Amino acid sequence: MTERRRPAGLRPAWLAAGVLAVLVATILGLAFGSVSLPPGGVAVEMLNLLPGVRLTSGLSDREVAILTQLRLPRVVLGLLVGALLALAGAAYQGAFRNPLADPHLLGVASGAGLGVTAVIVLGASGAADGLTGLPIGVPAAAFAGAIGAVTLTWLLGAAGGRDRSPATLILAGVAVSAFLSAAQTYLLQRHLESVRDVYSWMLGRLSTAGWHDVLVVLPYAVVTCVIVLAQRRELDVLTVGDAEAASLGLHPQRVRYLLIVAASLGTAAAVSVSGLIGFVGIIVPHTLRLLAGPGNRALLPLSVLLGAAFLALTDLLARTAGGDAEIPIGVVTAFLGAPFFVLVLRTSRTAPE
C-alpha cells in the first residue's frame, strides 16, 4: 500500500514572490493611466505615507493629488476585490472537490448581482451615479443573493442522485444563473430608469471617488480571509474523501458549510462594489496549482496575493488599452478567462479518476 504524501506547506520563496507581485502591481497601477507618473517617484511617495518617513519623490503637488486621492483608492479596491474573488474560487474548488467551481460559474455572482440590482432599482442605494457611496444594505443584499444561489446550485447538482460531478455542478450553476438573470431582467423592465446604472455595474468596474467603497468592503474581506485561511489544513484533509476525513476526527459537512458561507460573503462584498467580474476564481487558483502544487496550505494564501496582483494589473490594462475610453474590467477578464476555462474543462475531463 502506498503512503499518501502530505501536501506541501507555504514555502518562503513563494510567499516572497506573491508579496513582490502585489508590490509591483500596485506601483504599476499607481504610475500609469491617463497621466503617467515615474514609478520610482510613486514608490517613494508611497513610503512617505508611513509614519515618520519623509523623502523627496520629485512629484508635483498635482501629481501627488492624482496619486493619493484618485488612483490609490482604486488600486487598493482592485487588490481587495481580486484577493476575494481568487480566494473564493479556491475555497469553492476545495469544498466541492471540483476544479471548475468558481463564484461566476456556480451562480454565486449572479445571485449577489440580483440582490444588488434589487437594492438599486428599489431606490435603497441612494446613489445616483452608480454604486459610489455604498450603504450597508448593498453588501447584505448581495450576501443573501449569493447564499441563495450557491444553495440552489448545490441542491440542483444533486438532483437525481448524490453524484455531483464537475459537469453536473457547472450545468446546475448555468441553470441557476439563467434563472437569476431572468429575475434581474424582470426587475429592470419594471424600473427602466435604473437600467443605465445596473448595466454599467454588470460589466464590472473599479471606479471610485474616494475611500468609501474600500472601507465598505474591507471588514468583509478581513472576515472572509481569516475564516478561509484558518480552514486550509482541513481542506487538505477533505481531499481524501468525507468518510476518511471523518475517521480522522474532522466534521466534513461543518467545514464545507463554513467555507461556503465565508466564500459567499467575500464574493458578495466584491460583487457589490465591483460588479460582475468573472473568471478570476478560475485563472488564479489553477495557475497556482500548476506552479506551486495543489496543497491548500500554500494555495489559499497565494491566491489572496496573486488574485490581488492579477486584478490590479487587469484594471491597469482596462484603463490604458482602450485609449481615452476605458474598457470595462469584466470584459477584459472574460477575454482572458474564457480560453483558460476551456483549457481547465478539457483537463478535468481527461484527468484520470
Residue 32: predicted pLDDT? 93
pLDDT digits (tens, 9 = 90+) for 35-70: 899 999 999 999 998 888 889 889 999 999 999 999
Per-chain mean pLDDT for the chain: 84
In this prediction, residue 338 has a pLDDT band, given cuts at 50, 70 and 90, of confident
Residue 167: predicted pLDDT? 67
Structural domains of the chain, ranges and CATH numbers in brackets: 78-350 (1.10.3470.10)
Q: What is the DSSP letter of 193?
A: G
DSSP secondary structure string, 244-262? HHHHTT--HHHHHHHHHHH
Pairwise CA distance, residues 87 & 42, whole Å: 28
Angle, alpha carbons 235-341-317 (nearest 5°): 105
Please give the residue that has the higher pLDDT: either 308 or 110: 308
C-alpha cell at 56: 523627496
Residue 353: predicted pLDDT? 45
C-alpha cell at 242: 468525507
Residue 3: predicted pLDDT? 46
Radius of gyration of the chain measured on its C-alpha atoms? 21
pLDDT digits (tens, 9 = 90+) for 183-233: 988 888 888 877 877 777 777 788 766 888 898 889 999 999 999 999 999
